[in-house]
Structure 1
Amino acid sequence: MSAMCAQYVSRGREMSGEANVDGRAEALHYAPPAMAARRPPPRKSAPVSPRNERPFVALLASVKPEIERRLEGFLDARVTGSRPLGSEVQALAREVRRLSMLGGKRLRPALVVAGLRTVSSTAKLEAALDAGVALELLHTYFLIHDDWMDGDRVRRGGPSVHVALAQRFRSEHKGNASAILAGDYAVALACDALAKVKAEPKRLRDAFSAFAEMQLGAVAGQQLDMVGQGKDVELGYALKTGSYTVEGPLRLGALLAGGKPSTLAALSRYARPAGVAFQLRDDLLSLFGDPAQTGKPLASDLVSGKRTLLLRLVLRRGKPKELTVIRRVLDKPRAQEPALRAALRAVEATGAPELVEKRIQELSEQALAELAGGGVSPAGRALLTDATQALCSRRT
């Protein structure tokens, strides 16, 4: 990572154990902050005005149904086209379609459009929307492989792909192997969708390069997450999540609009801390979020034993009594709800959630400060200022 990136991950090193965290926060009943109510989607997609009170939320409401319409049509055609290959192959296409259409916030495609709008307030949205479809398929690929690697059995309120395919083929081994292939199938579809984007040749080449960088960053981050021993948790977050959740989509949209190097650099400076904040919010939601909203089981990161920054802080700061309660459910997928509720209360008592909340606020402020540094249009600043709230204060 660059020196610029190191400026914000250094604080993450302190929190994850390379320096002491002073003080012990008072135990509180933790709850994620509420987001402002979303406006109903406009009937027509239109350029977003900086006069909108919540411009990014309005953009998201406009983009989401259009992305889902295009994504569904693209995947339906692929499921139909796979029929001559037999039910075994069609099962992969069906699972990619199922997961892709099983909810999803569609934040990434909205950020592609936002990236385009930071360059031009009048450019047509077609290229950005089609690139957003490719990005959703890339996301599906990451989810399928990530769930298999982490042993997560539920995604978006339904069975993870490796679980569904194990049931389909009546074999855990075949289900796991088929899920790897389903992920590969999804990323191939993502590349196909991006290749169909109508853009100037140079812009499309640049977009493909950015698309590849997203994948490389996420793969590196996943490797650090699995075997990196937690030496720098935020670096892993910046690579695994930030690269294709915030920075990559913004750059993709800006490149499709012919963005200048100064704009691309400004977007990267903003996106890096915002992407880490997004993942830290995800860590909190994975423990304390409402399963009906998150689509994940209660306290999912505890029962899977995932060593997030939040959990590392809990294990460092917890008193023996608190840690005893937490370890009863840690890395125990069959833990029952009463034990999970008790463990969550113990997590609260350590004060770790408040420290993570504070870190999210620090990163959000850093992202907003980068926007003030120039390189982004006033309309783009308005969009990304609101996007910061949507990314970092979300409830799902």
Structure 2
Amino acid sequence: MTRRPGLPIGRAAGAPVYLSWTWALVAAFVVLTFGPQIQRALPHLGAGAYAVALGYAVLLALSVLAHDIAHAVVGRAFGDRAEEIVLTLWGGHTQFRGPQAGPWGTVATAMAGPLANLAVAGLAWLAALTLPTASVAGLLLDITVWANLLLAAFNALPGMPLDGGRLVESAVWASTGSRDRGLVAAGWSGRAIAVLLVGAALAGPLLRGQRSDLLMSLLLAWVGVILWRGAGASVERGRWGGRLAVLTLASLEIPAVAVPAEGSVAHALRLADGGRRAAVAVDATGTPRGVLDLTAVVHRPADELERTPVSAACTALAPGAVVRRADLPASGADLVARLGEPDLPVRVLTDARDGVASVLPRDTLLAAVHATRHSTDDPSAKENRA
């Protein structure tokens, strides 16, 4: 069974939504930080001020959820289907099935999050105008406004792994035609933002002649480290994607022919041109059920092959193994990421009419990735590229 990333709390834009167990740390930090402040502002609440602070944490989670749902909804409109939305210690993330959108779709998907937070901030501000500030509802609306403005502004910074990093990625992508170069540029931009953030946390108070707040300095430094790691992952992904650009779907797939599952192996081999093409067993409705294992039949006597049904010599297809060829990326890291699941040893690719087009064994993909890695690590290859 697949391990869940947290507590399931619903679905949005066709994707399951989870609350990570690490969110409890965020809630605890918010309660311990804001509880005493609320108690001073509204002394009549007493210990109830900490319950209001917990409300702060819940509103923060809902603001992050609105941010990520916006990503999922707009991404879906551009062909990116969200697999899951998770609220975590670091805020939240929307995991997409595979990048389908181009530069403009990527920008729209990325900026949907900050725009959603601006919309929530605006609605909360309008509602707060009707309430007294020194009230529980007024405080909750006020924190909603500021939390969403902060989320929007912070995520719009132009560097990975923030949403603004997608702007940098897409600008370089559109101008060079290479998404991988865009990822590298956005990663370095994110590293610069991380350095500036840590520098501001450590040196800012000293330059202003003020005493630094240890907790705030540690928090900003911690955020800077998280940003550096995320930016570094973007740089590495872009570099690795550049090396994988030579891998194309057309070079990896094996042409295939559909054969009746209840027909003989000998007949299937004749249809498959003696094994020059893969043979995919289909049922009476034309649905692929398995791939003929050529290694198991290649040395069998001819009379035995005439008696053996294809279904008895097939590798069964796992759920999700049949995909439309047009739904797969054409090349590069996106293709490798989409096809690398260990539970799918072979895929059957279908054409626009759902007919059998080709097969793609996972071992073929791994061998190609391995060969690419070694060819790019070869000193002579590096010298030739230089």
When normalised by structure 1's length, the TM-score is 0.36
- The higher relative CO (CA closer than 8 Å, separation ≥ 6) is in 1
When Rg is computed on C-alpha atoms for both structures, the one with the higher figure is: 2
The structure richer in helix per residue is 1
When normalised by structure 2's length, the TM-score is 0.36
